Structure 1
Amino acid sequence: MSHDNLDPSHLETLDRDLGRMTTLEQATLYVSRPMMGFGIALLFIVFAGLLAALIFGVTNNTFIVVVAAAFGAYMALNIGANDVANNMGPAVGANALSMGLAIVIAAVFESAGALLAGGDVVSTIAKGIIAPQNMASTQVFISAMMAALLASALWVNLATWVGAPVSTTHSVVGGVMGAGIAAAGFGAVSWGQMSAIAASWVISPLLGGLVAAGFLWFIKSNIIYQDDKIAAARRWVPVLVGFMSGAFSSYLAVKGLTKIVVIDMGAALLIGAAVAILAWLIMIPVVRRQSVGLENRNKSLKVLFGIPLIVSAALLSFAHGANDVANAVGPLAAIVQASSTGDYLHAVSIPLWVMVIGALGISFGLFLFGPKLIRMVGNQITKLNPMRAFCVALSAAVTVIMASSLGLPVSSTHIAVGGVFGVGFFREWYAERRMRKAKRAIPGLPALPPEERRRRKLVRRSHFMTIVAAWVITVPAAAALSAGVFLVIQGITG
């Protein structure tokens, strides 16, 4: 049929049909994307179980280890979906990293941290919370650890679904505690260890916020409010990057190289100092070259903080992998050891394949389900630019590294989100301070009405209250859920 004979009404009908097909295709893609994510996650969980069966071999406890590996993989996926948002959220929110690049960097450094430096905290999670000698038998101990794994994973999954950045550390510690109480009463819990962990939870967000605010004050005083901002940045940005590199190197020397050579803290600090000086010297020409032709204004500073922010985000991912992989594989490592040797009273040795499941699970969870909470942390709490995001990332990295080196399973969620709140509240305080100075300089300057003062708040109070409420409820909720799961497991196995 020739084009001359086409009826205009037929063309309109064709356009409508094509429009419907396009809409249908878009809807199919929208529906299939999350389904594909769930499918890949399920395949990874199956892979973890098969890997456990292959390595563990055929014994009476093979089925238990396979199920535990599947639970550990499920938990690791949820850690990647929820907790890693706190590492990359500030960099993405400041537009220093695209979502795709942030996910790649996080996956690489999370895995490296888990595999190189994750051991100390795993021991704390597995043995430090429950006193194993109070358990009636090896089977009861295994059931308690399996209940803790599944319950904490379910709780974090629920939190991710509703968009709340809860602490996976809170979840797993609450799960271990709840299962321990259900298995052997309150005496099974090492309350001294729990008190130390609880204190670190309170200290973590406060310390993270204070350190982040301190870095921001330093940057404002020494760079942003200087007459020649570019010259000030040339001087101080290399120093900040050197400090960050030194902290990272000291940590890696103490923890990451223990399988090759044992390095004491003094030697590690010397290594860190050497690396800090080297990084400082390298960054001097880099920053000088970046600053050529930049105008003397705040917008130009964002360019100079791009590399430091990316490096600090990578450092934070490494520290997070070292610290939070314990949440997935600590109870799993305890189950594997108890199932293979019957020993649940002594220190846990962590098989490499168990660490690999944790590292890969965190990376898959981040890739498949992480963007939602990355956007929430990066964009919806307070407005971030590269300087503020750098302060958050550096503060969180330093705090997590210190805690992990002490073997304390602190919450990286609390530290990182505390850093975001610290930066936001510091900006509010700084704005109020400048306003008071302006009033003293101009006595007749009218005060802002209360509505306008509320509108100018730089931290969203609704998010602040929601997140704090989620932090408070996580431990008891995970503990109650874990106790229920333990009773179900005992009912099935008993």
Structure 2
Amino acid sequence: MDPVFVLAVAVVLIVLVFDYTNGFHDAANIIATVIASRAMTPVQAVLIVATFEFLGPLLGGTAVANTIGSFVVLDGLDRVAALTIVLCGLIGAIAWNLLTWWRGIPSSSSHALVGGLAGAVVVSVGADHVLWGFGELRHGHITGVTKVLAALILSPLIGFWVAFGVHRVMMFLLRGARPIMNRTLRNAQWLTAAGLGFSHGANDAQKSMGILTLVLLIGGFLETFAVPLWVMLACAVSMTLGILSGGWRIVRTLGFAIYKVRPLHALDSQLTSTAVILAASAVGAPVSTTHVVATSIMGIGASERPRSVRWAKAGEIVTTWVITIPGAATVSIVFHFLLRMVLP
């Protein structure tokens, strides 16, 4: 049997496994505030989010997929070698997702994917096969790793300050409201949670779509980089299954360990996160739902009672964010060397 075909099939399956781990890892980020504010039961939250998560990749376009699928340059390489590189990068990302899930730390699947792929490419064929984008940046164009990192760095800051402002406005508008208003705020979260699920699918699933399309292009199954419909469906299904699996360890961290989330806090966090992620998806910027949701909670807490924010836990999360890219890269590099020792 053709080794390229066998390896391509294996890598496609690994991409879908990564998409699944992305789903159950990030599911917690989406449903944490809904559950913490008691707007929904865990089962209700997962079902609502999973439904709209499935629609996100199908209706959200492919701008993010194009960005992710083009930041590594594997043209001209032997097909088996190129597919092996992608496989090692994915293993690094999956391993990091599982490690941080086990520890209950909301890290970024996007960071892990970028770190894993970049590490595997650099150690295998050299840094010149990564589209860093530094030269293009001098001419005013943002592309490659520069675009990915800019989105991943700026989105948490935007999430923090947008949530800070949104919560201040909402507190002003509801300054004379009675406690019964909490019922309305909880009901409104059925819409905002659905919107957040859709935006997550429209952004995060596209990252797997981009890698999967890259694999098909490397294997010679596609002539140009264009995301097929079956790839969209496969990634949507895989991530939705991950969402249905949940990620309850991280729910406790985001819903309770950063700031005590009430119905208004949850609604404001979901509104902020949905707006930031949808805007990023429209311009093809791959952002981290984890980062946006977590920093929106920090921004809300800072706008209301800064001293009540558990900044130590926030600092632990930020530290994990910083080490995710080199951590996933290290895992992919180690796996690459182990593979070279095993294979002839």
| TM-score, normalised via structure 1 length | 0.64
CA distance in 2, matches of 1:488, 1:115: 37
**Other-structure match for 1:199:** 150
CA distance in 1, matches of 2:54, 2:338: 34
CA contact (8 A) 2:38 2:186 kept: no
**Other-structure match for 1:3:** none
CA distance in 2, matches of 1:404, 1:132: 25
**Other-structure match for 2:313:** 463
Q: Which runs of 5+ in 2 are unaligned?
A: 134-143
1:94-493 mapped onto 2 (5 Å cutoff): 94-127=37-70, 129-133=71-75, 136-192=77-133, 193-223=144-174, 225-226=175-176, 229=177, 297=178, 299-341=179-221, 347-429=224-306, 457-493=307-343
CA distance in 2, matches of 1:329, 1:91: 28
CA distance in 2, matches of 1:200, 1:422: 18
Q: What amino acid is aligned across from residue 72 of structure 2 in structure 1?
A: I
Taking only the aligned residue pairs, the percentage that are identical comes to 28
How far did 1:137 drift? 2.6
Q: Which runs of 5+ in 1 are unaligned?
A: 1-57, 230-296, 430-456
CA contact (8 A) 1:118 1:325 kept: no
1:83 correspondence with 2:34: no
CA distance in 2, matches of 1:478, 1:399: 25
| TM-score, normalised via structure 2 length | 0.91
Which structure is larger by alpha-carbon Rg, 1 or 2? 1
How far did 1:60 drift? 4.8
**Other-structure match for 2:140:** none
How far did 1:126 drift? 1.5
Q: What amino acid is aligned across from residue 205 of structure 1 in structure 2?
A: P
How far did 1:493 drift? 5.0
CA contact (8 A) 1:143 1:490 kept: no
CA distance in 2, matches of 1:341, 1:362: 24
Q: What amino acid is aligned across from residue 169 of structure 2 in structure 1?
A: F
**Other-structure match for 1:64:** 7
Q: Assess, with a 3 A threshold, how the Cα gap between structure 1 residues 477 and 404 changes in structure 2: closer, same or farther.
A: same
Per mean C-alpha deviation after superposition, the further-off stretch among 112-121 and 102-111 is 112-121
CA distance in 2, matches of 1:104, 1:59: 41
Per mean C-alpha deviation after superposition, the further-off stretch among 478-487 and 162-171 is 478-487
Q: Return the structure number with greater relative CO, CA threshold 8 A, min gap 6.
A: 2
**Other-structure match for 1:262:** none
CA deviation map 1:338-366 (0-9, x unaligned): 213486xxx52223333233222222222
How far did 1:311 drift? 0.5
Q: What amino acid is aligned across from residue 214 of structure 2 in structure 1?
A: A
Per mean C-alpha deviation after superposition, the further-off stretch among 404-413 and 62-71 is 62-71
How far did 1:398 drift? 0.5
Aligned pair count?
A: 334
Q: What amino acid is aligned across from residue 168 of structure 1 in structure 2?
A: S
* Structural RMSD (CA): 1.9
Q: Assess, with a 3 A threshold, how the Cα gap between structure 1 residues 144 and 342 changes in structure 2: closer, same or farther.
A: farther
CA distance in 1, matches of 2:124, 2:265: 46
CA deviation map 1:305-334 (0-9, x unaligned): 123222111101101001001333322221
Q: What amino acid is aligned across from residue 131 of structure 1 in structure 2?
A: V
CA distance in 1, matches of 2:213, 2:153: 28
CA contact (8 A) 2:65 2:210 kept: yes
CA contact (8 A) 1:109 1:318 kept: yes
How far did 1:213 drift? 1.3
CA contact (8 A) 2:35 2:255 kept: yes
How far did 1:157 drift? 0.9
Q: What amino acid is aligned across from residue 101 of structure 1 in structure 2?
A: Q
